[in-house]
Amino acid sequence: MIGNPYPLGLRLAGRRVVVVGGGAVATRRVPALLDAGADVFLVSPELTPALHAHVDAGRLHWAPRRFVPADLDGAWLVQVAVDDPLAAASVSAAAAERRIFCVRADDRSAATAWTPAVTRHGPVTVAVFGGGDPRRAMSVRDAVRDLLNVRTGLAAAGRGVPPGGAAPGRVALVGAGPGDPELITVKGWRLLTEADVVVADRLVPGLLLDELRPDVELVDASKIPYGPSRAQEEINRILVDRALAGKVVVRLKGGDPYVFGRGGEELLACAEAGVPVTVVPGVTSAIAVPAVAGVPVTHRAVAHEFTVVSGHVAPDSPDSLVRWPALAGLRGTLVVLMGLKNLAAITATLTAHGRDPATPVAVIQEGTTGAQRTLRSTLGAVAADVVAAGLRPPAIVVIGDVVGTLDV
């Protein structure tokens, strides 16, 4: 006898949850488990770049091999995220022997637990089951989210043709904000609910991916700094090919598409292929991250200008387009993105050209997220302090007197 699901809210903080599989499904599900505080153990011979980033950051444990039943020892929940029915069935059997609830991405009918359609609004989490129909659950979930956001009219206006419709394809370049999933714009979120395909970067808030329809194609276009990356030309090709096939494509980027996001290159590729593009600005980390850390980039009588630069190319490199000596002479705030690798060279160049070594500096890692860390230092000491503190990308460097303005 098959009955209705019994709804529960699992409190997984500190409890072992096993995820089997390292592909697109796991990429979508792991962020919600981490957000719940689960002790995630991931088993898969290979991982997507986004999952690798979680491993590198120490957020989860990874066994680079195939599943064995002993992996479930001590587990409270298992998420099967593979498309091999035999492999998934073996995990289900091991879970059943241990009386562990098992979620199956490949076969809902064979699962002992289902993942609902979820929306989050501050401390409120709404989970919807659709009687085995994911589209029904998503529709109800979206209506609830509209009400929670008090944006019913806006969210309902302009909804696209349902997936599988006859409308021509299109691309939306959507800024997802600096890390907090609630900082995406209402328009950006609405376009996500309409998407057939989502091409996402590593810095995209993972909980946004958890709320996608189950039939959405998720393309992991992660660009891990100084590590593996998918060529920009390949990303352009995916956007164009999917749109020409009649799909609604969302290119989801951390921050803003046009602030060191290569959104302009993607727009030009689409325009050349005759694909219509909508650009949805995002909250840029250059301003939002310092603000959340208590640092305004401008302040009356302290800074009348701020400059945002990329630090991914060293100041002495012939490829650098930044006039670092000129920046050293400015009196306002300097915000450096992607600058941790070259921070020692950047600070040395600025001080060599006249910037006071005592100038206050703040470095904010993973700003606006639960993993945010802030380091306060000075221009002369910050490079060594960052190494000593073990800070890592993504991080924003703020240089200027505004760093201490709001200290009370």
- Catalogue the active-site residues: 201, 223
Beta bridge partners of 399: 334, 361
Whose tokens are 């850390």? That residue is 293
- CA 218 vs. chain centroid, Å, equals 13
Strands 360-365 and 395-399: antiparallel
Whole-angstrom distance, CA of residue 294 vs CA of residue 366: 14
Angstrom distances, CA of residue 338 to CA of 9, 176, 245, 309, 392: 38, 18, 35, 9, 10
